[in-house]
Amino acid sequence: MPAHDGTRPHASTETLAVLLAHPAGHSLSPRMHDAAFSALGMRGRYEAWDVPPQDLPEALERVRAQAGLLGANVSVPHKLAVVEFLDALADDARTIGAVNTVVRREGGLFGHNTDVSGLAAALGELARPPEPGRAVVLGAGGAARAAVAVLLRFGCSVLVHNRGVRRAEALVEAASGAGDVRVVSAGELDSAVAEADWLVNTTPIGMQGGPAGSPLPAGVLPERGTVVDLIYRPRLTPLLAAAQAAGLPTQDGLPMLLHQGAASFALWTGRDAPVAVMREALESALDEGRAR
């Protein structure tokens, strides 16, 4: 597959962007992107398409063929599988082997990974600036690949834990040329987490809340490190609640959702995303959900 040079499409009459995910109904991306289109005076809209894995090729053909469609975001469970159906990949997507943004131009589909820049920008919002150290990443999907890439760029040594060991091994193999990264077994996980300067949860465990909704056993936390959970609904997951109770710095998934979305918007439209407007739309949607 040829490399993609990242050239932005020209903003024109294209007015639609979509999310390809399964499930898709929980996503706040439509609120964020519709607010961005409105703020810039663009006649655009964003739709969430629920696409089971077996329907992904058909959905991508619809993206390819539909007039007025700028492109797509790609979320769970498609970030790895989508790669084989695209015409070219930008450098970040090619390096980590995962795509979360597809740009449609002249019938071609070009894959990008704005999760990488999105997470880097999100971590940049923390009071403690990102710095080298020891990191543990929970999960081995597309978001985990982006997290590993970002942490390696910060100069961290990274341990990856996933219930499916083969998937974790595949991630480590893909990232091994970029720095010190290896798989951590279940038996080593407690001590690895205790010593971590960074703990990043990329799994969906915690999305439903409740005392059993943590990806780690009770009491297993870093002694001094920062805990990041990429789940944004609920914003306070069981993992983050435990970390906050222990006095640890934390970050929920909203900043990454915001910044990866802003980068996607810029790729589709060729215009700077109105980040403040997008953040306000996300926070408003989450506030409405809590009020129900």
Cβ(70)–Cβ(104) below 8 Å: yes
Instruction: Out of 4, 22, 33, 79, pick the active-site residue.
Output: 79
191/279 same-domain check: no
Query: In this model, does residue 10 exceed pLDDT 50?
Result: no
Taking only the tens place, the pLDDT of each residue in 239-286 is 999 999 999 999 999 999 999 999 999 999 999 999 999 999 999 999
- Domain range holding 231? 128-248
Picking from 168, 177, 170, 174, the residue whose alpha carbon sits closest to that of residue 203 is: 168
142/242 same-domain check: yes
Q: What does the alpha-carbon distance between residue 19 and residue 49 come to, in Å, rounded to a whole number?
A: 6
Residue at 142 is within a domain: yes
Taking only the tens place, the pLDDT of each residue in 140-177 is 999 999 999 999 999 999 999 999 999 999 999 999 99
136/182 same-domain check: yes
CATH code at 148? 3.40.50.720
Structural domains of the chain, count:
2
Q: What does the alpha-carbon distance between residue 92 and residue 214 come to, in Å, rounded to a whole number?
A: 30
79 is catalytic: yes
Q: What does the alpha-carbon distance between residue 169 and residue 128 come to, in Å, rounded to a whole number?
A: 30
169/228 same-domain check: yes
